[in-house]
Amino acid sequence: MTDAPLDPRERSSIIRDSLGVGVATGAYGVSFGAVSVASGLSVAQTCALSLLVFTGASQFALVGVVAAGGAPLSGALTALLLGTRNTLYGLRLAPLLAWRGARRLLGAQVLIDESTAMAITRETREAARLGFLVTGWSIFVLWNLATLVGAIAGDALGDPRRYGLDAAVGAAFLALLWPRLDRPRNRWVALAAAGVALATVPVVPAGVPVLAAAAVALLAGLLTKEPAS
């Protein structure tokens, strides 16, 4: 990883792509806001979850447990379990971004799937930092705004899937993954991870298949002595 400066065209390209991912992902916060309030949480509690937890899978898992009649503590533990994958992201990104002190703390707040993906595909440290920050913070701002909108106007908006927001998130992930499939090894790891995720969907709680798929990639990286991402 080099510290070469970015030229204006590359900087503009990274910002454009990062904002595109941010808009596609952040807008789906409307769904969380509506689902959370429908599950019995207040608007304030819903917004606090997006502001402080800020990881979609964990947030949906928590309100899902509450909606099903489970104890809030059980929901919190489920959310914590799903959030453990962010620890793996941190191990990968710490040497890549090379931040210290307050910058590291601010970066940790937006350490999510999308910001990680937009960082590890870069050739220089400055590019990785730019992709990480623009993606992470654009999603953070839009996700929290969308959560508020969904929490207040959930009934009036109806099912967010009508607007194709769930498909937009999937499309954003596919766009992030596609450039990483340039080598046969990465394609095999992706297929294995997808197979494990699909196989575990019927038998484990929501969100766990994501962890299982991540474990496949991590194991591949350990066995081949290089990151699988």
Domain spans, the chain: 8-181, 182-229
For residue 227, pLDDT over 60 is answered with no
Of how many residues is the chain composed?
A: 229
| Inter-residue contact 88 to 75 (CB < 8 Å) | no
pLDDT of residue 170: 53
Q: What percent of the chain has pLDDT over 90?
A: 25
Give the integer Cα–Cα distance in Å for 108 and 52. Answer: 12
- How much is the pLDDT for 206? 57
d(CA 91, CA 111): 11
Residue 159 has pLDDT above 60, yes or no: no
Residue 175: is its pLDDT beyond 70?
A: no
* Cβ-proximal residues to 125 (8 Å cutoff; 6+ apart), any chain: 1, 2, 3, 96, 97, 98
**Of 135-149, 151-165, 183-197, which has the strongest mean pLDDT?**
135-149
- What does the mean pLDDT of the chain come to? 80
3-state secondary structure of 124: strand
Q: For residue range 198-226, list pLDDT tens digits in order.
A: 888 787 765 567 667 767 776 776 666 54
pLDDT at residue number 83: 80
* CA 202 and chain centroid, separation: 22
Q: Is the pLDDT of residue 142 over 90?
A: yes
Rounded average pLDDT over 86-99: 88
A 10 A CB-CB count for 153 gives 14
- Burial level of 163, CB count in 10 A (0-12/13-18/19+)? middle
By mean pLDDT, which of 108-112, 140-144, 214-218 is the weakest? Answer: 214-218
What's the whole-number mean pLDDT along residues 127-149? 94
Q: Is residue 140's pLDDT more than 60?
A: yes
